[in-house]
């Protein structure tokens, strides 16, 4: 059972664990080259991908295979256990169809919790850092669709992510635009969200969280709306240093919607002249529905997926063809997340993680449906 956390003999790790701890019993530190023994295999640490207050994320290779994974290594405390419990709640959801990070197993060693996840590409934060200009509207549409599918799945099981931000949305290593929602360390059952709960970071914090009002899964819709606004604008659209600055900027003109979204159209259109004005207006309309101040009136994931910006009812001709090509994805079968058997490595085409930027052209190639990306000055 991948949920059974075994007690592992340090000798099996094939590393000198005692050299990494002194007599004061300081916490064991996982280093590059160390081995982690799980329920479904042994993993060698190749490099560290990130570090935070929770612990570290390591890129690992499964011993005896060429399979790569991202292993989140956390102190064996409440935070680690909370993420494990959250992953149990979503394990029955198809990770590909619902754009949720896939978990393969969890285990414990040296008083640390280790969760084995699929290895993904860059976060949207890194995409924005690598490409300082706003993201192309066709790319935003593909991102929006994937994220809304994730929110729809979470709403269906009564779970709120509570920490949606550009750092926690990853681009999967596939030959088509494919987002995955990660980091469920703050995820909470909607019925357990109480007034005053400390969730979300300031740039993506919903008004009801800031004002101490009743909460539901609508906090995720607000946060994802701010993600899309940031991609469209090229940076956070509102001050984010303090909650006061943020809430003041949001309320100072229009009590119902975040302000100045319409003004963002002009900024975006100057960079992407090939887009017709209707497409921009339809996107801004969706954004306003997602960033509705009153959570009771905020659009739901199901409603958002039926919005014209996602369905592209307002598009026609070459513009629609390009958008459809970008949003298309091949049929696939993925290994069962409950299986501890050997997992076949995914076949992928090397695509720049800066793909969703002002200049890209999409081709559908052969039966396997892959994407070839060319630098262009416009969408052909």
**Could you give the domains of the chain?**
10-118 (1.10.510.10), 124-325 (1.10.510.10)
| Mean residue pLDDT across the chain | 77
pLDDT per residue as tens digits for the range 43-61: 999 999 988 777 899 999 9
Report pLDDT for 236: 76
pLDDT per residue as tens digits for the range 3-26: 444 444 443 444 434 444 444 455
User: Is residue 335 over pLDDT 60?
Assistant: no
CA distances from 220 to 159, 171, 187, 245, 328 (A): 10, 19, 10, 21, 25
Predicted model pTM: 0.77
Average the pLDDT over 17-43 and give the result: 75
The answer on whether 72 is annotated among ligand-binding residues is yes
Report pLDDT for 307: 98
Range with the poorest average pLDDT among 151-155, 241-245, 292-296: 241-245
Model confidence at 374, pLDDT cuts 50, 70, 90, reads: very low
Report pLDDT for 79: 78
Report pLDDT for 244: 52
Model confidence at 35, pLDDT cuts 50, 70, 90, reads: very high
For the annotated catalytic residues, the residue numbers are: 163
């Amino acid at each position: 059972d991948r949920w059974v956390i075994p007690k592992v003999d340090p000798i099996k790790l094939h590393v000198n664990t005692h050299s990494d701890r002194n007599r004061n019993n300081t916490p064991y530190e996982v280093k590059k080259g160390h081995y982690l023994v799980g329920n479904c295999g042994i993993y060698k640490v190749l490099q560290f991908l990130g570090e935070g207050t929770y612990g570290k994320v390591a890129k690992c290779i499964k011993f005896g295979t060429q399979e790569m994974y991202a292993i989140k290594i956390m102190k064996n405390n409440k935070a680690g256990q909370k993420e494990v419990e959250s992953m149990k709640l979503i394990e029955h959801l198809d990770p590909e169809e619902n754009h949720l990070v896939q978990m393969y197993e969890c285990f414990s060693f040296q008083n640390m919790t280790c969760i084995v996840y699929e290895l993904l590409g860059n976060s949207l934060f890194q995409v924005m850092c690598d490409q300082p200009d706003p993201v192309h509207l066709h790319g935003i549409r593909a991102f929006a669709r994937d994220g809304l599918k994730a929110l729809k799945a979470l709403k269906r099981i009564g779970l709120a992510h509570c920490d949606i931000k550009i750092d926690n949305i990853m681009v999967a290593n596939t030959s088509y635009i494919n987002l995955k929602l990660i980091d469920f360390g703050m995820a909470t059952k909607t019925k357990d969200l109480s007034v005053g709960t400390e969730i979300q970071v300031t740039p993506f914090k919903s008004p009801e969280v800031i004002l101490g009002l009743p909460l539901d899964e609508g906090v995720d819709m607000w946060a994802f709306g701010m993600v899309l606004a940031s991609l469209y604008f090229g940076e956070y659209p509102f001050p984010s240093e303090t909650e006061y600055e943020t809430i003041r900027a949001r309320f100072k003109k229009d009590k119902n919607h975040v302000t100045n979204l319409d003004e963002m159209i002009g900024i975006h259109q100057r960079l992407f002249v090939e887009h017709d004005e209707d497409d921009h207006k339809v996107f801004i309309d969706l954004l306003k529905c997602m960033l509705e101040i009153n959570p009771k009136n905020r659009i739901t994931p199901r409603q958002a997926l039926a919005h014209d910006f996602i369905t592209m009812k307002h598009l026609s001709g070459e513009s629609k063809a390009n958008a459809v090509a970008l949003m298309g994805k091949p049929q696939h079968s993925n290994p069962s997340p409950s299986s501890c058997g050997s997992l076949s490595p995914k076949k992928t085409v090397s695509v720049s993680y800066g793909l969703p930027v002002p200049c890209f052209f999409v081709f559908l190639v052969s039966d396997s449906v892959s994407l070839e990306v060319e630098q262009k000055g416009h969408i052909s």
